[in-house]
C-alpha cells in the first residue's frame, strides 16, 4: 500500500485539528488589533541582532511580510529545513524578489522554524512521504497536499478566480493560512 493513500477524511481531520490547535498561537495580520502571540521567536529574543530590530514579534512580521503577495501559509505545512531554505533566498522567490532586511528575515525564520511541521507531534503527519534528504519548497508539492487535492480538478486550479494552486484563499478562506481574524 502506498504510504499516503490513506482516506481523504483522515487528512482533512488531521489538517483541521492542526489548524484549530494553531489558531490561538498565531498573530493577527498587519494592521489588525494585536492579540497576545505566545509563539514569538524563542531563539531570537536573546540575540543582540534581533534586539535592535523594530518591536514586532516574528509572528507579526511573518503575517505582515509574507502575507502581501499571498496569504501567510501555515508554518506547520512544511518542515523547518524548507522554511530555512525559502527565507535564505528571498531575493529569488519563485521568480520574484521578496527580499527583506536581515533582522526581519531572521525573526521570520525563527518563527517559521519554531512552528514548522517537525516542531510538534501533531503536525508531523504533514511530513509523510517526504524523504529526509529532500527539502520541498512548495506546500503544493508535498505528498499530503497532493493527496488531499487529488479529487480537485486541474481546471479548478487554472480558473481565473483561483489562478494557481498556491492561492489557497480562493477555496479555503483564512483557515489554511497563518493569519486568523477573530470572527473566522
Partner 1 sequence: MRATPRSTFAAGLFAVAAATGPAAAGPAQQAILDHYAAEAKAAGAPSAFSAARGEAFFRAKHGVSAESPSCSACHTADPRNPGRTRAGKPIEPMAVSAVPTRFTDLAEVEKWFRRNCNTVLGRACTPAEKGDFVAFMASR
> What is the DSSP secondary-structure string of 58-71?
HHHHHHHHTTSSSP
73 is a contact residue toward ligand HEC (CB under 6 A): yes
How far apart are the C-alpha atoms of 144 and 149, rounded to whole Å?
Answer: 9
- Work out which of 91, 102, 152, 158 binds partner 1, going by CB under 8 A: 91
30 is a contact residue toward ligand HEC (CB under 6 A): no
* φ, ψ for residue 172, nearest 5 deg: -115, 0
3-state secondary structure 12-50: HHHHHHHHHHHHCCCCCCCCCCCCCCCCCCCCHHHCHHH
94 is a contact residue toward ligand HEC (CB under 6 A): yes
Which CB sits closer to partner 1, 35 or 163? 163
To partner 1, the closest distance from the beta carbon of 164 in angstroms equals 6
85 is a contact residue toward partner 1 (CB under 8 A): no
Which stretches of the chain bind partner 1, using CB under 8 A? 68-71, 91, 94-100, 161-164, 166-167, 169-170
Amino acid at each position: 500500500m502506498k504510504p499516503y493513500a490513506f482516506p481523504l477524511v483522515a487528512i482533512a481531520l488531521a489538517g483541521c485539528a492542526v489548524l484549530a490547535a494553531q489558531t490561538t498561537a498565531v498573530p493577527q495580520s498587519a494592521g489588525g488589533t494585536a492579540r497576545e502571540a505566545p509563539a514569538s521567536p524563542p531563539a531570537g529574543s536573546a540575540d543582540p541582532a534581533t534586539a535592535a530590530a523594530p518591536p514586532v514579534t516574528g509572528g507579526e512580521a511573518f503575517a505582515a511580510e509574507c502575507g502581501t503577495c499571498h496569504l501567510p501559509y501555515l508554518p506547520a505545512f512544511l518542515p523547518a529545513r524548507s522554511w530555512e531554505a525559502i527565507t535564505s533566498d528571498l531575493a529569488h522567490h519563485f521568480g520574484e524578489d521578496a527580499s527583506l532586511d536581515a533582522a526581519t528575515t531572521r525573526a521570520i525564520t525563527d518563527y517559521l522554524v519554531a512552528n514548522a511541521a517537525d516542531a510538534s507531534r501533531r503536525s508531523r503527519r504533514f511530513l509523510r512521504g517526504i524523504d529526509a534528504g529532500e527539502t520541498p519548497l512548495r506546500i503544493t508539492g508535498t505528498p499530503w497536499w497532493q493527496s488531499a487535492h487529488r479529487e480537485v480538478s486541474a481546471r479548478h486550479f487554472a480558473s481565473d478566480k483561483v489562478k494557481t494552486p498556491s492561492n489557497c484563499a480562493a477555496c479555503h478562506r483564512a483557515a489554511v493560512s497563518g493569519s486568523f481574524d477573530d470572527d473566522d
